[in-house]
Structures are given as C-alpha cells and as structure tokens.
Structure 1
Amino acid sequence: MSRWRFVLSARWARYLVLVLLFAAGCAGLASWQVARRDAKVAEITRIEQNYDAAPIPLEEALPEPGSFTADREWQRVELTGEYRTEDQLVVRNRPRGGTPGFEVLVPFETDSGRVFLVDRGWVPISDGGAPASIPDAPEGPVTVIARLKPGEGTVAGATTTSSGVLASIHLPEVERVLGTPVEQSAYGLLAGEDPAPAERPAPAARPEIDEGPHLSYAVQWVVFALLGFGGLVFAGRQEYRYRNADDPEEQRRAADRAAKRAVRRTDADEEDALLDSVR
C-alpha cells in the first residue's frame, strides 16, 4: 500500500477535486435533461388526453376569467355567439413549411357576453409584405369549436405596428389594442365552425408526439461523469507503474503485458497472411 501513497499528495487531491467538480457538473446537466424530458412527457400526455376529447362548454373549461390551468391545454371547447369581425388582428413572423406568414386572430363574443380570442389559422405573406387574402369569418350567430392554448409572452424589442399587426399572441396586448376586456389566461385554436364558411385560413397542424433526445442526453452526461473517474484511475495506474518501474514484481507484470500484446499482434499477422493467400 505504501507504493500508492503518492495519491495522498496535494497534487492528487487537486485532481480529485477537479474530477468531482466535473462529475457534479455532468450530474446537473443530466438532471436538467431529465427535467426537460419530464416536461415533454407531461405535454404529450395532455395532447393525448385532450386533443381529440369531446368538446365541453367554455364556461365549464374556464368557469371564471383567468381560470385556465396547464392540464386544460388542447382541450376542445364549444362557444356560441358571434365573431367581432371588425376587430380582426394578425400576428407576424409565423412561418409554416418554410413560407413566412401570419396567424389570423378574431375576437369571439359569446352569448353570455364574454370575449374570447380565436386563432382562425394561418395565411401566407403577400409580395408586398402584408397578409395575403384572408378568408372572412362567418357573420351572425355561429358555433365554434376551439382548442385551448395559453397566451404567449412578449417578444423582446418587438411592438405592435400602427396598423395593428401583433408581434405575438400576448393577450394583455390584444386587450390593449382592442380596447375591450378579453379572456387573459387562454385563447383558442380553431377546430371547427358551424355554419362552416366556404374557405378559411390554414388550420393549425396537429402537434407532434415526440419526447426528443433528452433521455439519451442525460445518459451521455452520466457516462461522461464516469469517464472522468475512469480517467483519474487510469492516470493513477500509469503513475504507479512509472514510480515502480524498478520493482521486480512490476517488471514481471510489464513483461506479461508485452507478451500478450505480442501474441495479439502475431494472431493478427497470421490472419492477414491467410487473407492474402486467399486473394
């Protein structure tokens, strides 16, 4: 054991501290990836439970203004009332399939007087930079089926244009622009209208069910941490051999290792010679 006393030196203590710090960093990154996977799995669960579920009245899903909760995301809700077509808005910088475009937002006033924002879909950008032709929302009484989504945040440095083009679906900003109270905790992605118009903006695509590579990344960070400790052990072994090169026992072990390497090389040479003879 005295031959390993060098590992108790200050130098090796610093090596150990560095490896421990590296392992702690890897563990933190692995934990972060696991948390991201858990969040993705929770999102997938909500999609599977809510996306194709039977629609429920808006008043049941959101009994009070601001009562939206994450477990209601993608839930289909039913609204009856009329679109406020004169208050139609668009949101810029919404590419789809590599084509830039806009989301079309129309406030919907329910029979109870509640105003709920509906995203009717996507339209491409025109040559002049404005939205292309936007199909009109149905006039008069209509029943709408929409999927609940939480409002978006603001975009740093981006503002609403003088013509009312929004940078994001930030519901407080929508309320400010419209000058009328709007449901603040959620809006709806249009799923259907009755009566249905002849045409409408392109509907939102079904969300993908994909956990992503987070679990494999977490495993990789754990492997990196283990490699750090493995590297420390390897370095210790190499220094041990260097310090004890004159020891007869260590010399015998070195000779055994050299002999094994020679045998492996000899076997490989024989295989190569056999292959050459076949050619």
Structure 2
Amino acid sequence: MGPKTYSWPVATFDPLILKQPRWILAIVVGVVITLAFVRLGFWQLDRLDERRVANTTSEARMSEPGRPREGVLGEHGQEVNEMLHRATSVEGAFRTADEFFSPGRVVSDRQGTLVATPLDLADGTVLIVVRGIVPPGTPGPPAAGFEPPSGSVALVGRIDDGEKPIPIGEHVPEDGHLASLSRVDLAYIDRWIEGDVLPITLILEEQTPPDPGGVPLRIPREELTEGSHLGYAIQWFSFAIIVAVGVAVLVYRAGTRAGPTEAFPDGASRL
C-alpha cells in the first residue's frame, strides 16, 4: 500500500474580471477616493508647514523690544499682518464713556467679561485697547470698580487685528451707544465709535499710571502650537491605504476561483 496523499485545490486569478463593468467601476471609484485622501493628507502637511512658519514669525516678533506705535506704523504702514504680535507703546487718553463689554470669555481657566476701551491718540485716531477681563456680572460699562485712570496714560502691549464677526451679525444698539459685543469686530466698532478707529487693537500688558481701582485680568500671550495638522495627515494617509488595500482584496477575491487539484504525499509540505 503506497503513502497516503492529500489534495488541495489550486486557486487562480482570472484577469477577465477586470473587464467586468462593475469591477471597473469599483476600481475607478477606489482610485479616485484613494487619491482624494492622499491629497487631503498632503494638504494637511502644507497647513502644518504654514503653521510652523507663522509660529516662527510670531515668536520672532514677540521677542522684539517694544517700539512706539509711530515707529511700527512708519515701517509697516497699514499692513496689519506685518504688525501682528509686535510689542508697541502708545500714549493717549482713555475714552471711558465709550467702553464696551464682550461677555462669556475664558482666560487662564477663569470666566469673565472682556473689557475694551477706546484710546484717543494725539493724531486724532482711536485705538481700541483690550484691557482684560473682569468677573461675570460686573456692572457697566464702564466696568464698575475697574475704571481706567483719567488723563494721559502710557501703555505697552502687543498688536492684534481684532476678531472676525459672528455670522448672524451683532445686535444693533437701540440708543446708538455700543455697550456689548460678541466679538471685537473693528469694522463694526468703527460704525459706532466717534473718530477714525485704527484697524488694530492693543492687547494691554503694562500701563502708567495704573488703574485706580481693580485691575482687569490681562490677556496672556497666545500659546503657539502646531495644531492637529500632523495627526489629520496621518489619518488621511491611513484612510487612503485602507481603501486601496480593501479594493484590491475585493477584486482579488472576486476573481479567484478554484482550479485543478494537486496531490501531495503524506508528510510533504505544500509551499
């Protein structure tokens, strides 16, 4: 009696399946989706590079010594993007009567109301100064117990460009006096504040003389991070691999069929 044998079917791939319309469509759709995911991944990497460049620029500007506003404007004119985050000093007088609130803010894990006060400058322009936040429920504006000094003041802070308007628009003050805003939208503020409002704000850091009463909690410098762009890029590339491999496996399984069997003696290895 001869050795015992075993038989296995030999799987073969039929390339004719690649000519079937449904699998042609599946492959085309899979390729399109894969390329789209790859493109999104590279887009996130581009965003990461942009963020790194912006962070480097911001760090360099924040490390510069403060200069008078006239010097900053003289060098950069009205190019707001070139002035962002730079330290500057200004002198003027607070227009306390036109101070306004922006409630519902969180600074350093503390909730409060943002206080912004127009500053009249010697050249007749108006600079919006973000003085900080005060506790929720503080009467005003002007913020009771946190009034700025009267007369001339010298301020040091960093330049910002305000905030983007909310999509639904701001509430129009019934008496024509701006008292509360959702965002520090300079274009909107300019409609209600007398004078030529500059297209920048000053995030207050130092003030001489100091406030006679309470001092609003200052807005700290923005923490520069790279965001989630790298994680999103990895996610999109992973999706691309999953789709490409998934379509390939489906096509292979659909086109694979059992062929003739091959016999192997007992104890032999099938490679």
User: What TM-score results when the alignment is normalised by the length of structure 1?
Assistant: 0.77
Residue number in structure 1 paired with 2:7: none
**Matched residue, 2:86:** 75
Equivalent pairs, count: 252
Q: Tell me, yes or no, if structure 1 residue 186 matches structure 2 residue 197.
A: no
The one of 98, 105, 125 aligned to 2:136: 125
Q: 1:139 and 2:150 equivalent?
A: yes
What amino acid maps onto 2:240 in structure 1? Answer: A
Identity over aligned residues, as a percent? 25
**Distance (whole Å) between structure 2 residues aligned to residue 218 and residue 65 of structure 1:** 35
Task: Kindly provide the CA deviation profile for residues 160-209 of structure 1, in whole angstroms up to 9, marking residues without a partner as x.
Answer: 444621221111222222222211x2111001112233542100022122
Q: Which residue of 1 aligns with 2:210?
A: 196
Once residues 107 and 18 of structure 1 are traced to their aligned partners in structure 2, the CA distance between those partners, rounded to angstroms, is 58
- The structure-2 alpha-carbon separation of the partners of 1:78 and 1:208, relative to structure 1 and needing over 3 Å to count, comes to same
* Unmatched segments (≥5 aa) in structure 1: 261-279
Q: How does 1:127-276 map to 2 (within 5 A)?
A: 133-157=144-168, 158-162=170-174, 164-183=179-198, 185-197=199-211, 199-241=214-256, 243=257, 245-248=258-261
Check the 8 A contact 1:125/1:132 in 2, yes or no: no
Alpha-carbon separation, structure 2, partners of 1:176 and 1:187: 16
Q: Residue deviations 1:45-101, cap 9 Å, x none? A: 233112232111212222399713323211111112222222222222323466542
Whether 1:112 and 2:112 are equivalent positions in the alignment is no
Distance 1:195 1:128 in 2: 23
Q: Which has the higher contact order (CA 8 A, sep 6+)?
A: 2
How big is the alpha-carbon RMSD for the aligned residues of Structure 1 and Structure 2?
A: 3.1
* Amino acid of the structure 1 residue aligned with 2:87: R
Q: Letter of the aligned partner of 2:203 in structure 1?
A: L
**Whole-Å Cα distance in 2 between the matches of residues 6 and 83 of structure 1?**
79
Bigger helix share: 1
Q: Which has the larger strand fraction?
A: 2
User: What does residue 6 of structure 2 align with?
Assistant: none
- Contact persistence 1:61–1:68 (CA under 8 A): no
CA contact 2:99–2:142 (8 Å) conserved in 1? no
Q: What SS class does the counterpart of residue 197 from structure 2 fall into?
A: coil
Is the 8 Å Cα contact of residues 107 and 219 (structure 2) preserved in structure 1? no
Gaps of 5+ in 2: 1-11
Q: Is the 8 A contact 1:81 1:143 kept in 2?
A: yes
Q: TM-score, normalised by structure 2?
A: 0.80
> Counterpart in 2 of 1:263?
none
Moved more, 187-196 or 110-119: 110-119
